[in-house]
């Protein structure tokens, strides 16, 4: 209630500088969205000093970020760079001990084939127009900035089609497979390895992501020293607004809540959306069906 009152007062005060300290951590989604809209309008003519632990809000709102720890400046610069550094420190200070389970049940090698997903009903029309979502895919960067304990290393990140052919271009709405390969380092042994990824926009905002934990939580795939792990994720790439995007990948050992981060690779793979039919929101979702009906009532 106090926060709502504060924003109500601010909205009627002609100020040049506005200081917001964790105010968006309270309240429902409608209130938070209303506050964000107000702050963006205020920033058109004023300055906002936004204090928060919510890196997503900082990435969305700020042009510059300062990371403070016990009153001392740890990092300063572009929000994405500071948020990445903060994320690294967070994981390193909260590393779990990993799993001590000795279960080695093997997963059946015969995977159930994925059924074809429905296409967007407008796909052919869109693809024949200038609004086709053309996405250029760049090469994996093994030297990208990263962090981790070093028990395993990401060696390859690749987008390819159903036949396994690497993709240099893809059209939004098409099915793709993201493959991630990692090698366990000598003298290391991963009892419950997890490989995951995040897709982020140019501001570092996470659009979507996933990992292998839930699929193998009851039948973990144990990885011995010097072995190589291959993970794949098949999905329809969303319709992306014009701009630059990247994929960050990671390999850990343990569970979703208690794990050791061995190698987190920021911006391992870049891609660029050159044109799009989507103009609102962060991503567009392919529509399986859109229906419009008029019912005439005769009296």
End-to-end CA distance of the chain: 51
The answer, yes or no, to whether residue 124 has pLDDT greater than 90, is no
**Two tokens at 80?**
């994405």
Structure-derived torsion over alpha carbons of residues 8, 11, 15, 18, reported in degrees to the nearest 10:
70
Instruction: State whether 128 and 211 are in the same domain.
Output: yes
Residue 268's closest CA among 82, 139, 176? 139
Report if residue 109 sits inside a domain: no
Residue 256's closest CA among 294, 215, 297, 200? 215
pLDDT band at 132 (very low <50, low <70, confident <90, very high): confident
Instruction: State whether 9 and 87 are in the same domain.
Output: yes
Instruction: State whether 135 and 232 are in the same domain.
Output: yes
The answer, yes or no, to whether residue 250 has pLDDT greater than 90, is yes
> In whole angstroms, what is the distance from residue 291 CA to residue 299 CA?
26
Report if residue 118 sits inside a domain: no
Instruction: State whether 58 and 134 are in the same domain.
Output: no
In 3-state terms, what secondary structure has residue 24?
helix
Residue 83 domain boundaries: 2-93
Say which DSSP state 23 is in. Answer: G
Rounded average pLDDT over 139-153: 93
Instruction: State whether 87 and 135 are in the same domain.
Output: no
Instruction: State whether 142 and 261 are in the same domain.
Output: yes
Rounded average pLDDT over 98-112: 39
- pLDDT tens per residue across span 70-93: 889 999 998 888 988 888 888 777
Instruction: State whether 198 and 148 are in the same domain.
Output: yes
Share the mean pLDDT of the chain. Answer: 82
Rounded average pLDDT over 191-197: 96
- Locus of tokens 């016990």: 70
Q: Output the pLDDT for position 200.
A: 92
Whole-number percent of the chain with pLDDT over 70 = 78
- Locus of tokens 């009851």: 218
Alpha helix stretches (DSSP H) within 113-238: 123-127
Q: For residue 263, give Cα distances in angstroms to 108, 211, 233, 286.
A: 27, 14, 18, 33
Cβ atoms of residues 48 and 39 within 8 Å: yes
Report if residue 288 sits inside a domain: no
Report if residue 112 sits inside a domain: no
Report if residue 43 sits inside a domain: yes
Q: Output the pLDDT for position 70.
A: 86
Q: Output the pLDDT for position 125.
A: 62
The answer, yes or no, to whether residue 241 has pLDDT greater than 80, is yes
Residue 143's closest CA among 133, 135, 153, 151? 153
Q: Which helix (H) or strand (E) holds 10?
A: helix 2-10
Instruction: Report the predicted TM-score, pTM, of the whole model to 2 decimal places.
Output: 0.67
Domain count, the chain: 2
């Amino acid at each position: 209630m106090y926060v709502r009152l504060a924003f109500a007062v601010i909205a009627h005060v002609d100020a040049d500088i506005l200081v917001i300290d964790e105010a968006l951590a309270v309240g429902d989604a409608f209130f938070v969205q209303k506050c964000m809209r107000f702050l963006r309008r205020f920033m058109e003519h004023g300055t906002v000093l936004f204090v928060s632990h919510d890196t997503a809000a900082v990435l969305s709102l700020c042009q510059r970020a300062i990371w403070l720890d016990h009153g001392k400046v740890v990092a300063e610069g572009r929000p994405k760079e500071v948020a990445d550094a903060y994320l690294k420190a967070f994981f390193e200070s909260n590393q779990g001990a990993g799993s001590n389970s000795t279960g080695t049940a093997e997963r059946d090698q015969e995977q159930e084939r994925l059924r074809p997903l429905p296409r967007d009903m407008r796909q052919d029309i869109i693809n024949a127009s200038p609004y086709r979502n053309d996405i250029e895919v760049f090469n994996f960067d093994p030297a990208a900035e990263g962090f981790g304990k070093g028990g395993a290393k990401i060696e390859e990140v690749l987008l390819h089609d159903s036949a396994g052919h690497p993709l240099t271009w893809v059209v939004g709405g098409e099915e793709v497979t993201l493959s991630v390969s990692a090698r366990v380092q000598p003298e290391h042994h991963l009892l419950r390895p997890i490989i995951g990824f995040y897709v982020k926009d140019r501001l570092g905002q996470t659009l979507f992501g996933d990992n292998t934990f839930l699929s193998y939580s009851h039948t973990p795939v144990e990885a011995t020293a010097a072995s190589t792990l291959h993970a794949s994720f098949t999905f329809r790439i969303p319709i992306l607004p014009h701009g630059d995007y990247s994929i960050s990948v990671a390999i850990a050992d343990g569970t979703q809540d208690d794990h050791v981060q061995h190698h987190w690779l920021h911006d391992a793979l870049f891609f660029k959306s050159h044109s799009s039919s989507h103009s609102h929101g962060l991503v567009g979702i392919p529509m399986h069906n859109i229906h419009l009906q008029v019912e005439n009532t005769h009296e």
